[in-house]
Amino acid sequence: MATSVGALGRLEPEGSVIRVAGPPGERLGELLVAEGERVVAGQVLARLESYSERLAEREYAAAQLQEARARLEAETRFGQAQIEEARTRLSRLDEPQQLQIRSQEAVVERIRAELADAEANLARFQALWQEGAISQQELDQKALVVRQRQEDLQAAEATLNQLRLARERDLRNAQAQVQAAEAALRRAQAQVQLQSLARNLELAEARLERTLIRAPRAGQVLKIHTRPGEVIAANQGILELGNTDQMMVVAEVYETDILRVRPGQRATISNRVLPETLQGRVERVGLQIGKKDVLNTDPAADVDARVVEVYIRLDPESSARVAGLTNLQVNVAIDAEG
């Protein structure tokens, strides 16, 4: 029984070759990389022809949002100033009126005291008059003083009520002015559609991002299919990208030999264009049986043979030597004994 399993295979970057595409039918505007160039994940590789238009839309949306924010800030400062002015008027209005009311309350209390004193005198003089100690004229004078104090008290209380009513009316008016200023500020703030403008900017940024073709992962540009000015074809995309820092061999092992192959086995890879053989180790065995992709140059070979793909990781030195030979057909010998 043979100690190794032979197979045909091909070289490819780790993770296979990625075809970086764009929206089919779109025209490529600018290509930012060249074949052989190494790129990092997320790097912009190309821009669609619609990039300039989408960029202008994004700048316009950003300017609208910035203007709205400035307008909101100005409206807020003005509204807050109006509110503060209304509150200042309210406080300046209330203080002197309270002083007037307290002064008038003092007048009312003084007159009430004078009235009480006059009424006490009148009662004493009425007793004296009944005893005949004083004349009717003297009694009438005391009664007149009581009536005068009563009239004075009524007038003072009326003035006090007027002052209180005036204060309440003025306070309501001033408070209404404060509330009106606050409502005006809220209305002005509501009229500035910041939220909708922010959503418009997000939409413009998303549309702009769709015109940028980014690298899905780090790797090397292997081949460019679409040049600036050309329409992106659905079956080709823009370019092919691969991680050539680590090269792999995809060996097509016959289904009759696959049970002899397992991860960890050493493998030797050769081709007449290579000055020396390559070394690697089986990393994983495929899970499906299919037809051969790598065709033997032997015209008598069975092209319909059933095979399983076996992935072999090349050693660092071997990988470096064939980093630029993606898709090279190779002969593979897997050590079936380990």
- Determine contact, residues 228/213, Cβ cutoff 8 Å: no
Mean of the per-residue pLDDT values of the chain: 87
pLDDT digits (tens, 9 = 90+) for 27-69: 999 999 999 999 999 999 999 999 999 999 999 999 988 988 8
* CATH of region 4-50+213-335, choose from 2.40.50.140, 1.10.10.410, 2.40.30.170, 3.40.640.10: 2.40.30.170
Instruction: Enumerate the domain spans of the chain.
Output: 4-50+213-335, 55-196
> For residue 300, what pLDDT is reported?
43
pLDDT digits (tens, 9 = 90+) for 192-243: 677 888 898 999 999 999 999 999 999 999 999 999 999 998 888 999 999 9
CATH architecture of 55-196: Orthogonal Bundle (1.10)
First to last CA, the chain: 15
Give the chain's count of helices (H) and strands (E).
4, 11
Which residue, among 212, 216, 246, has the nearest Cα to 22 in the 3D structure? Answer: 212
AA letter at 170: D
